[in-house]
Structure formats: structure tokens, C-alpha cells
Structure 1
Amino acid sequence: MGVEFRHLEAFLAAAEEGSISRAARLLRVTQPALSRTLSQLEQQVGATLLRRSAKGVELTAAGMAFRAKATQAVNAFTEAVSSPFDAPRPLRVGHAWAALGRFTTNLIQRWRVEHPEYPLQLRQVDDLYVKLDEAVIDIAVVRGQRPGSRYRHELLYREARLAAVPAQHQLANRRSVTLGELVPYDLVVNTASGTTEPYLWEENRRPAVTVEVATVDDWLSNIAAGAGLGITPDPSSQLYQRPEIVYVPLSDAPPVTVYLAWPPHSSHPALRDFLAIARALVG
């Protein structure tokens, strides 16, 4: 038996995850089955590629050298089985809302000029990681919490936080407010894609959360109706303008981190180009 695609896929997953159990979950196989596949690979190449311990696995010197070759082989195989008559596969960029914020328009324009052969599709989806796992999207824009170790990721930029207040509210005419000034008021929180977390305030001094919503539209409607205040990254002030809502800068709130996340073995030929353009746009 020679080296098969499944051997390379198993090895790359274990190397990326640093854990047999996490790699098995990623590939949706049992841990014993993955261990057997890795042992078969090491027998075939005649070298120990992974050093196993109670903490997980790490690459040996031979494993580091083999990883580069395995990656090239997997990419070449994926390209080889693609029909030359197939239309170029779109690069699908998932986001919960706002995509790349103020950089989105320039991203689309630059992509159309530099890579017209690969259509760029921005897809607004509810659960970014599920869609990545299901290969519904190729890469995701993630706001807030850093992506887990199952995904490759890169911190792209940061966005300032704003307070969203009803237009008739006493804070609406302020040039800026602090987190502490929001404590006396009720808060509207988007639990599906929002970035408002309790850690923004001290434990014994936090606003009451009276309304939890799952969509941006419901979040906006509740604030407009005076049900409470909201906290949001600054793209909201351009994307979701309503006469009933005023966005006021938060002077002491930490910025929202914006990451790009993608599967460790993504085979889309335009992924690296997308990363390069995104980096260049945000400076």
C-alpha cells in the first residue's frame, strides 16, 4: 500500500491542530482510525513525522520537511481533479454583517480589476464556523472573539465602538460618552452576531440587559423604539442610518478586533490573493 490522499490529509490536520483528537474531530473520523492512518504514513515514508506526548503532537524535523511536500501534493491533487472545462470557482467570503466595513467597496473594486477570473461573493450568514466546516464559504470575516485553533486566522484590523442611542435620548447630543455613563440605562444586545460582552464593564457595575435579539434589524428596531441603548462597531454608523438612532463615540471602550478565518487545508487558488489584497487595503 502506498501513500494515499487520506494519509496526507490526516497528517496535515494533525500538524495544524497539534492534537490527534482535535484533528479527528476536524476530519470527522474516530481518534483510533486517525492514529492508524498516521502510523501507516510513517511506515510508508520510513520516518517518524509526529512526536506524541500527553500534551498533543508536534512535528519532528522530518515532519517539518514532509509538511511542505504534503501541502504541495494536496494542492496539486485538488487542482488536478478539477475539470479544465469547469467555470472558475467563486471565492466565497462569509460575514455576519458589514463584511470588511469601510474597506468593503475598495475590496470589491480592486478584486474585479486584479482577479476578474474568480468571482468574489460576499455572503451574509448566521453561523460562520458551521459554514466554514460545511465548505459553504471559503473564508470568514469574524468580529470580536479570536477564532479557535481549528482554523487558520489573521488579525486584520480594529474598529472603534460606538453607542447607539435613540435620537431623543439625553446622550444623543454628546460628542462622546464613556462605558460608565451607559450603566444606568437598559441595553439591547444582539446575541447572534453582536460584540457586546460583559467584560466591558466591572463585574459589580454593568448595565441591565433587558432585550436580547438575534438579528441586526431587531436590534435597530428596539433601540429606535427606546427599549434601550446599544453598543456596536463603527461600520453601523454608515450601514444602518436611521433618523431615530444616533451613534455616539465611546471614548474608553476597547476596539473590536476583525479577523479573517479559513480552514487549514483550503484549496481555493485565489485565497492567498484575497489575503494579500485585504492586508494591503487595511494598511
Structure 2
Amino acid sequence: MVTAPGPSSASGIELRHLRAFAAVARRRSFTQAAEELLITQPALSRTVAQLETNLGVRLLDRSSRGVALTDTGATFLLHVERTLAAFDAALAAARHELALRLGFSWLLPDPWAQQAIAHFERECGAQVELVRCDDPLDALDRQSVDVALVRGSRPVTDGVRTVHLYDEQRVAVRAREQAAGSGRETSASPAPAADALRWQDAHEWTLVVNTASGTTGPWCWPNGDGPHRYVETANFDEWLESVAAGRGLGIVPDVAERRIHHPALRFVPLTGAPPSPVRLAYHPEAGTGSALLRRFLDTALEAAATCTDAGDA
């Protein structure tokens, strides 16, 4: 049970209260949130305290160790972020500053992204804002993006729809020894040294998995015949450096081989691997409006078809 700091009265709540609370909740710090909002820390503290008093609930736990959300605060934050996103979208529409926010976790696929974005902005007069986030689906649920680029076959939550753009081929990536520039595999190699690896030999691997937005993980082997050892990471950067440190093998779409240049990594062909789908995920009635979203989806599909035809040529 959360102890209420005062009587409940929502009539005095203003947008400044919501923005103040959201900033503190994101930063987990009154000092950093005050710097973001360009106000003094005492003024920010008073604003958040006013919000709690008006609501009659405690949203934040304050201690010498920092700031943490209460259970009520965590639930309230989800609604606050959606409210602020809808308000900002309404302002942009009123000012004819239409924008669609595209969330992605790492390496937008090329040349699809460049073609789709350029065509959409040219034809619609709207801007595509690129939002890098560790978990695009989470950002979609929080309505901090309007559409999310999703790689791999992991299921989405109820209420989220997806459109399939095309498939990417998978490639393996492993650490190489950097000492003296030898190029030899490390002693802690995650799989037998070879010029190519086979998907059916996955049980021999130690696999590094990006649990937030990775394309390859335990879900790829529903019958349990995948790797017996996994190293979990929370985002793409952690995944990349864990592979480079020799903690395991990585499996990624082949776009990574063209775009990632890391002296501690070596890409290895992977045979027998299923393709990795590229999808766009969205809430049908959320974000900047279904009409603008629909036009972006149509443009995205047209660009995907063009890229696929060029690749087959």
C-alpha cells in the first residue's frame, strides 16, 4: 500500500507537473532532470511534490542513494509519457510540422532506409525523425516512437501489428586475437575455429544474445537443440563488445559485415541458417495518426520491393 502524502485533487495538475515528473523518472536524478528542464533543483522538487500532493499518492522514493519509482509511479509514468507524446503530436499537427518517429536499435538496413525515408519526406511533406533506442518495441508501447523497425522473429505484444519488409541473411561474428596483430582466434573461442560455421552445429557454441533487440537467441531453436551456453546482454553495444572480448559467438544479419568495422572482430560465413525477417511494428491508431502512418508503411513496402528486386537482379 502506497502512503498518500496529502488529499487527492487532480484539478491543479498542469503539463509542467507531468514534464517535471517524467524528467526525474527518466534520469533517476533531480539534479540531472533540473539541468534538462533548465530550472533550479528546488523548483523542480516543489513541482514534483505538488503533483504528488494533488494526486494523493507517492510517485518517487527519495533516499541518499538516489531516486526510484514506486510501483504507482512506474504505472503513472507509462500514462504520462503517452499523454505528453500525444500532446506534442497535436501541437506539431496544429503548426503543420508533421513528423513520424521511426525507432530502431542499431544499423538501419540499407539501401531500404535511405530510399523509404527520402521518398516519404518528398511525397508527404513530413519529416521522419530517427530515434535510436535499445528496445524499439518498448519505445513503441510507451508511444515515444510511432513505428519501430524490428529484426528477427520474436513475437510482439497484443495490439501491435507488423508488416514484413524482406529477409536478411545471417552471418557469424567472433573475436580475433589482437596481440601483435596475429589475427588468430582467442583461446576462449566460442566455437571450433573454421572458415565457415554450420547452423546445425549450434549446440557447440557459446552464443552472445542481445535480449532487447537481438535477432538470434534461444527463441530460434524452439525444440531446445540450439546452443547450450548463452551470454546475455541488454543492448547492441554490450553485445558487440562482449563478442569482441571473446565471451561467445555472435549471429547477426549480413548488413553488419558491411557496416561494422571493429579490429577485434572477424566475420565468418554461416551455412544452413534461416533468414532473419525485417519488419515494421506499429499501433494502428496511435502516434501521429493512422493516415500518415499508413502512407509511411506503403512507402516502406514499395522501397522493400525495389531493394529485393535489385538484389535478385
TM-score bracket relative to the smaller structure: 0.5 to 0.7
CA distance in 2, matches of 1:172, 1:108: 41
Q: What is the correspondence of 1:101-140 to structure 2 with a 5 Å cutoff?
A: 101-115=110-124, 117-140=125-148
Equivalent residue for 1:95, pick from 94, 104, 123: 104
Residue identity matched to 1:278 = A
In the alignment, structure 1 residue 225 sits paired with structure 2 residue 233: no
Q: Which residue of 2 aligns with 1:278?
A: 300
CA contact (8 A) 2:105 2:236 kept: no
Whether the aligned pair in 1 keeps the contact of 2:99 and 2:129 (CA below 8 Å) is yes
Q: Distance in 2 between matches of 1:151 and 1:84?
A: 24
Structure 1 counterpart SS, 2:118: helix
Structure 1 gaps of 5+ residues are 1-80
User: Are the counterparts in 2 of residues 178 and 253 from structure 1 also a CA contact under 8 Å?
Assistant: yes
Residues 281 and 85 of structure 1, relative CA distance in 2, 3 Å threshold: closer
Answer yes or no: is the 8 Å Cα contact 2:105–2:136 preserved in 1: yes
Aligned-residue offset at 1:150: 0.7
Normalising by structure 2, what TM-score? Answer: 0.56
* Residues 280, 202 of structure 1: alpha-carbon distance in 2 compared, 3 angstrom cutoff: closer
Query: Which of 249, 259, 278 is equivalent to 2:279?
Result: 259
Mapped pair 1:157 → 2:166 = yes
Kindly provide the amino acid, as one letter, of the partner of residue 139 in structure 1.
Answer: V
User: Among 207, 218, 227, which residue is 1:187 paired with?
Assistant: 207
5 Å-filtered alignment, 1:181-220, equals 181-201=201-221, 203=223, 205-220=225-240
- Paired with 1:149 and 1:201, the residues of 2 have a C-alpha distance of 23
Aligned to 2:82: none
SS of alignment partner, residue 102 of structure 2: strand
Which deviates further from its counterpart, 144-153 or 217-226? 144-153
Secondary structure of the residue that 1:227 maps to in structure 2? coil
Question: How far 1:89 sits from its partner (Å)?
Answer: 2.5
Match in the other structure for 1:58 = none
Letter paired with 1:271: L
For 2:303 and 2:92, how far apart are their aligned partners in 1?
33
Alignment: residue pair count: 202
> TM-score, normalised to structure 1's length?
0.62
Shift in Å, 1:204: 6.1
Q: Does 1:243 align with 2:243?
A: no
Offset, 1:213: 1.1
C-alpha deviation, 1:278, in angstroms:
0.9
1:42 corresponds in structure 2 to: none
For 1:153, what is the secondary structure of its paired residue?
strand
Distance 1:160 1:172, change over 3 A: farther
Shift of 1:163: 0.7
Distance in 2, Cα, partners of 1:202 & 1:215: 23
Note the aligned Cα RMSD (angstroms). Answer: 2.8
- Quick one: distance in 1 between partners of 2:252 and 2:217? 11
Percent pairwise identity = 33
Using a 3 Å threshold, how does the CA distance of structure 1 residues 244 and 86 change in structure 2: closer, same or farther? Answer: same
Unaligned stretches of 5+ residues in structure 2? 1-89, 177-183, 186-190, 306-313
1:143 CA drift (Å): 1.8
CA distance in 2, matches of 1:275, 1:84: 19
1:96-150 C-alpha deviation (Å, 9 max, x unpaired): 22234442222333334333x2111111123333322332111111222243441
How far the C-alpha of 1:268 sits from its partner, in A, is: 5.0
Question: Aligned equivalents of 2:213 and 2:300: distance in 1?
Answer: 22
* Secondary structure at 1:183 match in 2: helix
